[in-house]
Structures are given as C-alpha cells and as structure tokens.
Amino acid sequence: MSKAHDPALLEEEFARAQLSRRTLRRLLTYVRPYRRVFIGNLIFTVLATGSQLLGPKFIQVGIDRYLTNITSLQAAMTGIMVISALYLGNLLAGWLLSTLQVKSAIQVGQGAMNDLRLAVFEHIQRLSLSYFDKTHQGRIINRADADIDSLDRLLTWGATQLLSSALTLVGVALLLAQYDWRLWLAVSVVIPPLVIASRWFHRRGMAAYRKMREQASRMTASVAENITGVRVVQAFAREEENLERFNEVQGVYGERVVEAARVFHTYMPIVGLVSGLGTAIVLGYGGSLVMRGEITVGELAAFLLYLSMFFGPVQTMGDLYNAVLASAASAERIFELLDTQPQINNNPRAQALPRIEGRVEFEKVFFRYDTAPAEHWTLDDINFVVAPGETVALVGATGSGKTSIISLLMRFYEPQRGRVLVDGHDLQQVTMESLRAQIGIVTQENFLFTGTVMDNLKFGRPTATDEEVIEAAQKLGTHSIIERFPEGYQTKVRERGGNFSGGERQLLTLTRAMVADPRILILDEATSAVDPRTEEIIQHALTTLFQKRTSFVIAHRLSTVRHASKILVLEQGRIVEQGSDAELLAHGGIYARLHEEFFGIAVSSNRS
Ligand SMILES: Nc1ncnc2c1ncn2[C@@H]1O[C@H](COP(=O)(O)OP(=O)(O)O)[C@@H](O)[C@H]1O
Ligand SMILES: [Mg+2]
C-alpha cells in the first residue's frame, strides 16, 4: 500500500484551517514588493465598481425625463440619444477600468506567487538529507506545486473581489433605501432567507467539492505510481489487477462528481428562485406605488436593476470565504516547510576551508540516522587517518556502513560523537560549500540532469571549457564511448538520464567528477554497472588520477580495491581490519576470506 493512498494523509492535506492573523501578515510580506500596483488595483476596483453602480441611474433618468412625459418629440429624441451615448461611454470606461483591475490583480498575485515559489525551491535545496529521509517526496512536491497554486484565489483575487463585492453591496443597499423605504422594506423580507440559504447550500457544495478533489488526488496518485513502477507492473504481469483497482478508485470519483453536481445544479437554482421572489414583490408592490404616483417608472426600473446587482456579491463573498479557508491551510503548510531549519547549518564562526592537501581523519566517530533505533549505532567508534594523496578502499557487506562514512565526510550528516577532520580542520568549523567544492563523488545513483551530455559533464565546474572536458574524458578512457552516442557530447539527456544505460551513466558521472578536478575523490560503487573490461580500462586511468589526490573507493570487486594503499574492512558499522592488501592477506582474517572467495584461490598465508 503506498502512502499516497493512505486516507489519513489525504485528510491532513485537505484539512481546513482558519486564516490566522499571523499567516495573513506573513502572506502580505510577499505582496509588499508590489504595493504600488496593489494600490493601483484598489483604485481601479473602486472606479470600476462606481461605474457599474452608475449604469441604472442613466436608465432611470432616460425614462423619467424623456419617455414618460414627452413635451416635444424633437427634444425627447435628442435627450434619449445623449443619455444613450453617456450610458455607452460609462460602459466603455467601466470596461477599461475592469481590464486594468484584472491586469493589476494578476500582476500582484503572480508576482507574489513566483517569489513564494522561489523561496520554497531555494529552501528545499538547503534542507539536510535527514529531512528527506523523513518526509514523503510527494508531500514536498505538493508544497511547491499545488499548495502555491491554491493561493492564487487569495493573492490574486482576494483583495479586489472583497472590495468590489463590499462596495457593491453597500452601494446598492444605500441606493435602494434612497429610492423608497417601503419598497426596500418589502424586498428586505427575502434577504435573510436568501443569505442563509445561499450560505447553507454553499457549505454543502464545498463539502461535496472537497470530497471530489480528495478522490481525484487518489486517482492521480494511483496513475503516478503506475507510471513510476511500470516496469515492475509489466514484469509481474499485474496490469489486470492494477486496472481493476484503478477502476474502483475511479468509480468512487464518478459518484463524488454526481454528488457535487447535484448540490450545485439542483439546489443552487433554489437560491435563484428566492431572489426571483424578491423581484416579483418589487414588481407587484412597486407597480402599485407607480400607479399611485408615489414613485416614477424610471425609479422602479432602476430599483429592479439595482436589486439584480445585489445577489451576485453575496455569492462571491461566500465563495471567497471558502477559498480563503483553503488557501489558509495551504499557506500554513508552505510556511511550515519554510520554517523547517536545515539540521546541518554553517556554524556562525565557520571558516572557508582553504585549498586542501587531502588529509582525512575520523576520530572516535559514532553516528546513527534519526530514523534508526536509538540503541544501535550505524557507525560505531570509527577511527582512521588517510594521508594526502593516499587511496583508501572501504570493504564490507551491504549495510555495513561504507556509504555512511562517505556521507559524514561530505557532511551530509553529522556524527553524534567524535570528529571528522580534513587537513586538521574539524568539519563542524568550516563552511559546507568550501568543503564540498573540493570533493568529487560518484555513487550508484549516477543522477544526470536534463540538458546535453556536455552540460552534465560541466556540472561540477561550470567554467570548464569543452576542450578541458574532452581531455578529461580522454584520460579516463570514456571519450571514445561518448563519441559513439548519437550526437556525441551534444546528445540530449532525457529525464534522469533514461536514454542511457546504467553503465553509460556511471561512465558519464565518473567523467563529471574528473572534470571537476576535486582534491578528494570518492567512488562509491561507481563501477558496479560497468562490464569488467571497461572497468579495467577505467581502473587503469584512475590509478594515474588517484595519484594526485586523496581517494576513497568502495567496490565489491576486490580486483578494484586491492591496489589501494589502505583497506578498511567494515562489519556492522565497525572497522574490524585495517591495512594494505598484503598485510590483510597475511593477517588471514575476513579480508583474506573474501579474497579467497573472490579470486577462487586460497591464499597461502605464512601462518604455517
Ligand atoms: N538515510 C538513511 N536513513 C536511515 N537508515 C539508513 C539510511 N541510509 C542507510 N541506513 C542504514 O544504515 C546502515 C548502513 O548503511 P550504508 O552506510 O548505506 O551501508 P553500505 O554503504 O555499506 O551498504 C544500513 O543498516 C542502512 O539500512
Ligand atoms: Mg553503500
């Protein structure tokens, strides 16, 4: 069962939150850089709303002055033309203003959202690896993607819609009251039930809608999982079962869609009926007032037109209220991510590490991962010294702690006890950037980025020239292999390097590390996917490259590691043997036994 299907997790994703004043204030800091446009937006909103409110006035004046008591046909004709022109002019002005209103709103909202997205992206890059051990990848991506998108309604439309709705409501209410208070009183009978009904249906509608979204996200998760695992699905011939499971999820989604539609399209029109009742009252009662000469025809027409402008904003405000709640939940999740401090930080007094010789020292190091049980050390009292330029091999079973040692040297994690030193500098006292800039690492992961092969090879040293890259590849023996790619160094790398074989990716990541020309080189099972012959070629090249720098090699093929000047043998997080190939063979311990298994010949130790 994948986490994406875990209902508890989804409930959390869709939890509602109040928009606390703190969250709102913090969101506003992202609007602040655009405050000029924002103020402009508010002004356009006021003017556009004003122009809308003016519309019925023209109609009232037109009817009362020129249609109901005509004295001269000629004057009436001119008058009605002038009024029409004015009405049209006001309409055009309103159109222009609302264009500006929308444009400025988008400018503010998108600006703020882009800044927020950048902040999230930047922050994710800074977080320590231990955070990614603990947090589901889908949830992190959701923060940077869906959560920021859901702020759109609030950041782009929130202020402008709130202002225009409020102004329209107040404006219309005042105008209506000014026409005739009895008419206003008659119509206000329908307002409370209307507001209540509209809110009630709205809440029902939103609940149905939320359920629909939840199910949709389950459906997406199911599709995504099947794409990622498509090889496994096909290999185990699970297509039928997965299709069935997907169809079940989809079936529920269909029900939810119908439910949501029922609320919106069956109940919502009832709101329309109630507001229609208001119009009927006005028409009937208002008509009698006109006949008694207490109000004019124009006034009645304007009253009806204003009344129709009253119900829209009620709806919008309810809508906005719900959107704000949803945005609040998203905003809080985004800020929670932004507030997560990287566990590993540069010490305030950290110094940049100068160009290093390459002396590495582990001093009584104890280490465990946050997620590991407390009683067990992943690395248990590790002590060793590597002289500059030396090549060290780490040997041991899978899970014995080889990669963990490397992670401490890179300061991806920090030891709970003990110290790791480079050239005598405690890693805790130097800046991470200055350390990592001098270390080159090639791992089993061999991750490539989209771009060309050349772009990828320059990843560790963007200033390298094409010639330098080719030279490094030639030295390493990968040049001829890269040349055989369809477009050589200009071959496009697809997502995660999917258009290259595992072995080719390893060769590229090795070349990438060589181009970076690091002071310390780490190869963590870097040649495991390469055929033995190619490995031999690289091996040969590496021995010359190893000479100029301190190197760490992890490999299961003992032929790769036997030339190392020092071999550390690990077992369950402890160094159990330490020495050169010859010394360890002579010692006749674990290494000698591995050696025997690997080469298939018993080593005649001088134990006799
Ligand atoms: N990110 C991690 N979070 C928790 N435990 C881990 C993590 N990485 C490795 N481990 C555990 O630490 C131990 C040592 O792992 P590792 O150093 O990767 O071994 P090796 O590289 O020798 O195969 C293993 O038991 C492994 O399960
Ligand atoms: Mg490993």
How much distance in Å is there from the Cα of 407 to the middle of ligand 2? 10
- CA separation for the pair 247, 243 (Å, rounded): 6
Structure tokens at 114: 């882009």
Q: What is the pLDDT of residue 275?
A: 78
Does 231 reside within a domain? Answer: yes
Question: Do the domain assignments include residue 363?
Answer: yes
Closest ligand, as measured to the CA of 407: 1
pLDDT, tens digit, for every residue of 75-115? 888 989 999 999 999 999 999 999 999 999 999 999 999 99
Report whether pLDDT(305) > 80: yes
Residue 427, domain extent: 347-438+520-528+547-602
**pLDDT tier at 5 (50, 70, 90 boundaries)?**
very low
Q: Are residues 273 and 383 in the same domain?
A: no
The mean pLDDT value for 422-443 works out to 93
* 333-390 per-position pLDDT tens digit: 899 889 988 888 888 889 999 999 999 999 999 999 988 888 889 999 999 999 999 9
Phi, psi angles (nearest 5°) of residue 219:
-65, -45
Confidence of residue 267 (pLDDT cuts 50, 70, 90): low
Give the global pTM: 0.75
Predicted local distance difference test score (pLDDT) of residue 605? 45
Tell me the average pLDDT of the chain: 86
Contacts of 473 (CB under 8 A, 6+ apart): 457, 479, 482, 511, 514
One-character DSSP codes across 67-99: ISS-S-HHHHHHHHHHHHHHHHHHHHHHHHHHH
Question: Does pLDDT of 17 surpass 70?
Answer: no
Residue 60: the pLDDT is 92
Nearest CA to ligand 1 atom 12: 378
Please report the pLDDT score of residue 14 as a whole number.
Answer: 47
**CATH assignment at residue 486:** 3.40.50.300
Are both 23 and 150 inside the same structural domain?
Answer: yes
Q: Assess whether 489 and 567 both reside in one domain.
A: no
CA angle 501, 502, 505 (to 5 degrees): 85
Cα distance between residue 159 and residue 28, in whole Å: 11
Paired tokens of 370 = 């946050």
- CATH code, 31: 1.20.1560.10
DSSP state letter for 462: T
Residue 211 shares a structural domain with residue 284: yes
Residue 395 forms beta bridges with which residues?
569
Pairing of strands 425-426, 492-493: unpaired
- Residues 484, 382 within the same domain: no
Confidence band (pLDDT; 50, 70, 90) for 8? very low
Tally of structural domains, the chain: 4
Question: How far apart (Å, rounded) are the C-alpha atoms in residues 136 and 505?
Answer: 26
DSSP assignment of 306-368:
HHHHHHHHHHHHHHHHHHHHHHHHHHHHHHHHHHPPPSS---TT-BPPPSP---EEEEEEEE-
CA 413 to centroid of ligand 1, rounded, Å:
12
Residues 136/171, Cβ–Cβ less than 8 Å = no
CA-405 nearest atom, ligand 1: 17
Q: Do 432 and 571 lie in a common domain?
A: yes
Give yes or no: residues 553 and 462 share one domain.
Answer: no
The answer on pLDDT for 15 being more than 80 is no
Residue at token pair 């959390």: 12
Name the residue of 395, 404, 522, 571 to mutate for ligand 1: max ligand atoms within 8 A of Cβ: 404
Whether residue 365 is found in the same domain as residue 321: no
Ligand 1 atom with the smallest distance to the CA of 397 is: 22
Give a yes or no: residue 309 inside a domain: no
Residue 595 domain-assigned?
yes
Strand partners, 451: 493
- Please give the average per-residue pLDDT across 121-130, as a whole number: 89
Q: Are 416 and 366 in contact (CB under 8 A)?
A: yes
Name the nearest CA neighbour of 543 among 396, 409, 390. 390
Least confident of 22-36, 254-268, 421-435, 571-585: 254-268
Min mean pLDDT across 70-79, 92-101, 135-144 is at 135-144
* Total length of the chain: 608
Q: How confident is the model at residue 123 (pLDDT cuts 50, 70, 90)?
A: very high
Residue 208 confidence (pLDDT): 83
Which comes out higher in pLDDT, residue 137 or 174? 174
DSSP string, 358-373: --EEEEEEEE--TTS-
Do 135 and 87 have their domain in common? yes
What six digits make up the tokens of 532?
């033995």
Write out the H or E segment, with its range, that includes residue 394: strand 391-396
Which amino acid residue places its CA nearest to atom 13 of ligand 1?
Answer: 399
Spatial strand order in the sheet of 379-386: 379-386, 360-367, 417-422, 425-426
Which of these, 443, 456, 530, 464, lies nearest to 493 by C-alpha position?
456
Is the domain of 50 the same as that of 147?
A: yes
pLDDT band, residue 495 (cuts 50/70/90): confident
Same domain, residue pair 168 and 37: yes
Same domain (yes/no): 353, 329: no
Dist CA 517 CA 551 (whole Å): 12
Spell out which residues line ligand 1, taking CB within 6 angstroms.
133, 369, 371-372, 378, 396, 398-404
Ligand 1 atom index nearest CA of 570: 22
